[in-house]
């Protein structure tokens, strides 16, 4: 059979949510529709990793999108367990009636006959907007300002004010590329902030066979998905480094609790 003869059944009302939902949320919805309505099924078991792989949306944003769709009552999630009692994939089903109500509410006029629908649309959009604002403020204002300052210092920016406004708008809108870049930068920023708090603190670092290196905390950097702590003896200039997975582990080490 020619590839052009293969189709997936997608209701028009689902396509029309494109102008209402964020890009990542619409992608997640479309894939769930394909796996359920598209195959004539009431529900389907789909993993987060599968949704991420098929839509190109990070697992973090898939979680956000699912919560948004659930909050709008567009999808229903049924938690299941395997035959052996362990966790299994969630089963998703589509509420086409809720989708149609949302689309109708947002596309109709504001005359007296449809005032209730318009109010409903406003409520739904408010839910979505609050969700996006919540995601935006999951990064503190201090962190966002630090990230923008980092970009201003590393990028060739002519209009710094306009550039700062642009980045903030992209973060508020959950722009995938911007958030991914921020997420990659964040551990580096945390390492730098953590080092400023504890720099030059005297520490004992275990090396081997009970031997320890006494020295100052000389640096903390994030490299290859791990935090590298380096201690240097100011008298002998000997140095040693140790790898940690989390900043909390470093704090315990500095306090002598690990």
For residue 114, what pLDDT is reported? 39
Specify whether the CB–CB gap between 139 and 171 falls below 8 A. Answer: yes
Is 150's pLDDT higher than 70? yes
Q: 29 pLDDT exceeds 80?
A: yes
| Strands, sheet with 211-223, edge to edge from the N-terminal-most edge strand | 202-208, 211-223, 226-232, 239-244
Average pLDDT over residues 215-222: 84
CATH number, domain 3-136? 1.10.10.10
Whole-number pLDDT of residue 112: 39
206: which DSSP letter?
E
Helix (H, G, I), strand (E, B) or coil at 224: coil
The span from the CA of 182 to the CA of 165, in Å, is 15
> 106-130: per-residue pLDDT in tens?
765 444 333 444 444 555 555 565 5
Domain boundaries along the sequence of the chain: 3-136, 141-174, 196-254
Q: Which of 4, 77, 62 is nearest to 31 (CA)?
A: 62
The answer to whether 130 and 137 are in contact (CB under 8 A) is: no
Contact 168, 179 (CB under 8 A): no
């Amino acid at each position: 059979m020619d590839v052009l003869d293969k189709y997936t059944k997608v209701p028009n009302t689902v396509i029309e949510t494109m102008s209402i939902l964020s890009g990542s949320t619409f992608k997640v919805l479309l894939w769930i529709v394909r796996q359920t309505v598209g195959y004539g099924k009431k529900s389907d078991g789909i993993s987060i990793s599968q949704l991420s792989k098929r839509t190109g949306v990070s697992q973090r944003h898939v979680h956000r999108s699912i919560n948004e769709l659930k909050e709008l009552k567009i999808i229903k999630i049924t938690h299941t367990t395997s035959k052996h009692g362990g966790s299994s994939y969630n089963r998703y089903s589509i509420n086409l009636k809720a989708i149609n109500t949302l689309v109708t509410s947002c596309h109709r006029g504001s005359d007296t006959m449809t005032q209730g629908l318009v109010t409903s649309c406003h409520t739904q959009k408010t839910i979505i907007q609050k969700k996006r604002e919540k995601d935006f403020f999951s990064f503190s204002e201090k962190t966002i300002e630090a990230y923008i300052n980092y970009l201003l210092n590393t990028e060739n920016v002519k209009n710094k004010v306009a550039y700062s406004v642009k980045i903030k708008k992209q973060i508020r809108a959950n722009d995938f590329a911007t958030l991914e870049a921020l997420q990659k930068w964040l551990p580096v920023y945390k390492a730098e902030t953590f080092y400023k708090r504890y720099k030059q603190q005297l520490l004992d670092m275990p090396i081997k066979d009970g031997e320890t290196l006494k020295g100052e905390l000389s640096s903390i950097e994030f490299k290859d998905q791990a935090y590298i702590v380096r201690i240097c003896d100011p008298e002998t200039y000997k140095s040693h480094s140790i790898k940690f997975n989390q900043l909390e582990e470093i704090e315990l080490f500095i306090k002598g609790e690990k």
